[in-house]
Amino acid sequence: MTEPKRSLRDTGAPGLTPALLAAALALPGVAAPTATQAAPPERAQLDVRYLRYQDSQPGLKRITASSPSVGLKVPINERWSFEGTAVYDSVSGASPRWHSAVSSASRMHDERRAGDVRVTRHWDRATLSLGGSTSSEHDYRSRAMNVLGTLSSDDNNRTWTFGIGRANDRIDPVNGIVVGERKRTTDLMVGVSQVLTPVDIVQANITHARGSGYYSDPYKSIDNRPRERHQTAMLLRWNRFVEPLGATMRTGYRYYTDSWNVASHTLTGEWVQPLKDGWTVTPSLRYYTQRAASFFYDTVYDPTLGAPFPIDYLSNPDGIRSPDARLSAFGAGTIGLRVAKAIDRSNIVDFKIEYYEQRAGWRIGGAGSPGLDPLRATIFQVGLTHLF
């Protein structure tokens, strides 16, 4: 089967977070900052990056994606700052083979243009920022606004973070299954960062989102999902400066659960090691495990109709169900390495490579979903940061 276009939302591996495919560790609309800066940056910063993504399943080279981006942070004056990012994604290849059959993969190509801006007011121990973002594909458009505030203690050892966001999406698939469908999401976030010792800092964030509207995949013949989704995520981070080596250890844990019965755990670790002559190397590891949604169906097909119909399709053709592997039970691991070089006080170049692999049998806490082929991905990123 050939489809001239598919949505970018149909490209990503579950649990994988390359920049062009997935949200940050917070839920949509509100970002979870890793640090708080009460004062505006002293210098403007320009980031130019290029990301290349490739994934595959056994016997099937799947998605190839390229994503150039430009980011800018500018101090306006002593109390105000501005930042913005523009991204262009180009994706092509075969859509995911959900089960162990090459015929279930179709051809696709799509492009996405996205951008976000943020204006921040700075006080001595507090900040308040207003942000907006937009993302457009041929069949999907998203607009979002958010407000984020921080408040630090008198000694600046503790910082509270509060955020609220609102996203409004419009879905118009090229096959005309639906026209002008909407999805709206409101999310709230509260967090705290605490300096424990001169070499230890910890952070905790909780985010809750309530969404309603069209969540089904219009490009799958049997995909009917609930029209509401409530999501909660808890993020814990611990950074420690290892003084004898001049290195920084970064660790994190994220727990996620939602009203679709999906639950996941994510463990991350990084070691930031400065070297001579302005070099820095950062190896990283990440493990992800997920429980399947209550309405995900495995490769058990109707005995009369055969594939790809679920076993109760004849008696309940409009039932809530989905074959999307991103809603299945699985485990995944990522290993990465970032190398950066400070050319001078104003320019830094960096290169990052990650390898990702996902398997049903790698799930911890229960069996993974049967009949799903492994998925592998590599992500390359090169960047230049210029301060002026």
Q: DSSP assignment of 197-265, as one string?
A: ETTEEEEEEEEEEEEEE--S-TTSSS-B--SEEEEEEEEEEEEEEETTTTEEEEEEEEEEEETTS-EEE
Range name among 24-33, 187-196, 276-285, 308-317 with the lowest pLDDT average: 24-33
Q: Count up the domains in the chain and report the number.
A: 1
- Domain annotation covers residue 265: yes
For residues 325 and 97, give the distance between their C-alpha atoms in angstroms, rounded to a whole number: 9
Q: How confident is the model at residue 302 (pLDDT cuts 50, 70, 90)?
A: confident
Tens digits of per-residue pLDDT, 35-51? 445 678 889 999 999 99
Closest CA to 136 of 170, 104, 112, 107: 112
Closest CA to 169 of 215, 116, 225, 207: 215
Q: How confident is the model at residue 97 (pLDDT cuts 50, 70, 90)?
A: low
Range of the domain at 107: 8-13+44-387
Whether the CB-CB separation of 285 and 253 falls below 8 Å is answered with no
- Domain annotation covers residue 32: no
- Domain annotation covers residue 34: no
Tens digits of per-residue pLDDT, 240-266? 999 999 999 999 999 999 999 999 999
- Domain annotation covers residue 22: no
For residues 346 and 354, give the distance between their C-alpha atoms in angstroms, rounded to a whole number: 27
Query: How many CB atoms within 10 Å of residue 35?
Result: 10
Tens digits of per-residue pLDDT, 221-237? 789 999 999 999 999 99
**Higher-scoring residue by pLDDT: 307, 83:** 83
> Is the whole model's pTM more than 0.85, yes or no?
yes
- Domain annotation covers residue 1: no
Whether the CB-CB separation of 214 and 142 falls below 8 Å is answered with no
Q: How many CA atoms lie within 13 A of 287 on its CB side?
A: 6
Q: Which residues contact 197 (CB under 8 A, 6 or more apart)?
A: none
CATH of the domain at 180: 2.40.160.40
- Paired residues of 53 in beta bridges: 65, 379
3-state secondary structure 34-94: CCCCCCCCCCCEEEEEEEEEEEEECCEEEEEEEEEEEEEEEECCCCEEEEEEEEEEEEEEE
Tens digits of per-residue pLDDT, 124-155? 999 999 999 999 999 999 999 999 999 999 99
pLDDT of amino acid 195: 95
- Domain annotation covers residue 53: yes
Q: Tell me the average pLDDT across 310-329.
A: 89
- Domain annotation covers residue 203: yes
pLDDT of amino acid 59: 80
- Domain annotation covers residue 3: no
Question: Three-state DSSP class for 325?
Answer: helix
